[in-house]
C-alpha cells in the first residue's frame, strides 16, 4: 500500500487514526520514514510525559500535559523562514520544534492514550486545543489558556485588526480537517522552498481530503505553471473561476486563461 493510500485508510477507522495518518504524510515525502517504528517509539514519550503529570482528575490534565511537553523541549519553531520540517511530524518528534498543528497532533495522541479529554480547534493561523466544556482554549505551544479576548488579540496579530472573531473560528476540527490543514501548510512550505514536486503531492492530497477551495485550485495551478504543465494549469484555473465570487479575481483568472496555450488536437 502506498503512503497516500495508507494515510487515507487511517481515516476509515473508528476512531480516526489522525496521528498515524500524519506520519504517512511524512512517509510520502521520505521513504526512510517508517510510521510503525515511530508509533512503537512513541510509547517512550508517553511514559516520559505520564510520570510527570500531577495527581488530578483526567478532566484537569490537558494543560499539565501541554506544560509537560513544553518542559521536555517541545516548542514552536521560530526559525525564519519556516522550513517543511516544521510541519513534517517525524521531524517535529525528532527536533521537538514545529508549527502549532503538529505539536497539537502530538498532544492529542498522548491525550487519547492517557484518556485525557482534548480536541482540536481549527483557529485561523494558529491551531488551538480545547477541553470539552471548558470556557477557554489552550495553545499547544506551551499550554497557555486563551479566553475570547486572547483569541481576538491572536487573530489581530495574525491577520490585522479588521478581522473580527467569529464562531466559525472556534469550531472543533475533525481528523480529516486537521490532515487537510497539515497538507496545506506543507504545500506552502515546500513551494516556498523551491520544491514544486513535493508541493504538488501536498496539493493533490488537499483535494483528496476534503472540499477544495478556489485558493486550493489556484495554488495547484501555480505549481503546474512552475512545472510548465499548461493544460493541468488550465484545468485548475477553470475550477477556481467556478468557485470564486470575487469579481476582480474572476477578471484576472479569465485573462490568465486567455493567455494560456490551447490544447492541440491531433487527427488520425
pLDDT tens digits, 108-140 = 999 999 999 999 999 999 999 999 999 999 999
Please report the pLDDT score of residue 210 as a whole number.
94
Nearest residue to 102 via CA among 131, 82, 132, 80: 82
Q: Any residues with CB less than 8 A from the CB of 120 and at least 6 apart, and which?
A: 104, 108, 127, 128, 129, 130, 172, 173, 178
Q: 97 - beta bridge partners?
A: 75
pLDDT tens digits, 136-182 = 999 999 999 999 999 999 999 989 988 999 999 999 999 999 999 99
The helix/strand/coil state of 48 is: helix
- Please compute the mean of the pLDDT values over residues 26-40 and round it to a whole number: 97
- Band (261; pLDDT cuts 50, 70, 90): confident
Please report the pLDDT score of residue 161 as a whole number.
87
pLDDT tens digits, 82-97 = 999 999 999 999 999 9
Please report the pLDDT score of residue 24 as a whole number.
98
What are the residue ranges spanned by the domains of the chain?
A: 3-170, 175-258
pLDDT tens digits, 38-93 = 999 999 999 999 999 999 999 999 999 999 999 999 999 988 899 999 999 999 99
Q: Is it the case that residue 10 has pLDDT exceeding 90?
A: yes
C-alpha dist (Å) from residue 74 to 125, 141, 144, 241, 245: 19, 8, 14, 42, 41
Overall pTM > 0.85: yes
The helix/strand/coil state of 97 is: strand
Please report the pLDDT score of residue 263 as a whole number.
64
Please report the pLDDT score of residue 27 as a whole number.
98
The helix/strand/coil state of 34 is: coil
Q: Any idea which architecture 175-258 has in CATH?
A: Alpha Horseshoe (1.25)
Please report the pLDDT score of residue 216 as a whole number.
98
- Please compute the mean of the pLDDT values over residues 202-215 and round it to a whole number: 97
Eight-class DSSP state of 135 = S
- Please compute the mean of the pLDDT values over residues 188-210 and round it to a whole number: 97
Amino acid at each position: 500500500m502506498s503512503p497516500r493510500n495508507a494515510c487515507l485508510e487511517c481515516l476509515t477507522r473508528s476512531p480516526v487514526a489522525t496521528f498515524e495518518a500524519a506520519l504517512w504524510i511524512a512517509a510520502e515525502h521520505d521513504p526512510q520514514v517508517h510510521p510503525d517504528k515511530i508509533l512503537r517509539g512513541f510509547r517512550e514519550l508517553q511514559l516520559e510525559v505520564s510520570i510527570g503529570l500531577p495527581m488530578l482528575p483526567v478532566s484537569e490534565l490537558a494543560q499539565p500535559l501541554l506544560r509537560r511537553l513544553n518542559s521536555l523541549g517541545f516548542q514552536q519553531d521560530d526559525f525564519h523562514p519556516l522550513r517543511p520540517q516544521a510541519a513534517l511530524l517525524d521531524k517535529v518528534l525528532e527536533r521537538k520544534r514545529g508549527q502549532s498543528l503538529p505539536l497539537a497532533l502530538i498532544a492529542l495522541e498522548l491525550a487519547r492514550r492517557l484518556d485525557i479529554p482534548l480536541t482540536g480547534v481549527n483557529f485561523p493561523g494558529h491551531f488551538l486545543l480545547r477541553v470539552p466544556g471548558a470556557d477557554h482554549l489552550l495553545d499547544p505551544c506551551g499550554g497557555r489558556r486563551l479566553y475570547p479576548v486572547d483569541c481576538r488579540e491572536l487573530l489581530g496579530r495574525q491577520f490585522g485588526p479588521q478581522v473580527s472573531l467569529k464562531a466559525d473560528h472556534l469550531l472543533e476540527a475533525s481528523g480529516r480537517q486537521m490532515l487537510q490543514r497539515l497538507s496545506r501548510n506543507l504545500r506552502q512550505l515546500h513551494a516556498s522552498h523551491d520544491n514544486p514536486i513535493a508541493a504538488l503531492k501536498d496539493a493533490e492530497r488537499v483535494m483528496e481530503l476534503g472540499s477544495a477551495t478556489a485558493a486550493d485550485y489556484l495554488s495547484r495551478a501555480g505549481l503546474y505553471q512552475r512545472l510548465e504543465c499548461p493544460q493541468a494549469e488550465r484545468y485548475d484555473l477553470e475550477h477556481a473561476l467556478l468557485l470564486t465570487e470575487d469579481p476582480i479575481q474572476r477578471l484576472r483568472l479569465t485573462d490568465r486563461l486567455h493567455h494560456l496555450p490551447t490544447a492541440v488536437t491531433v487527427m488520425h
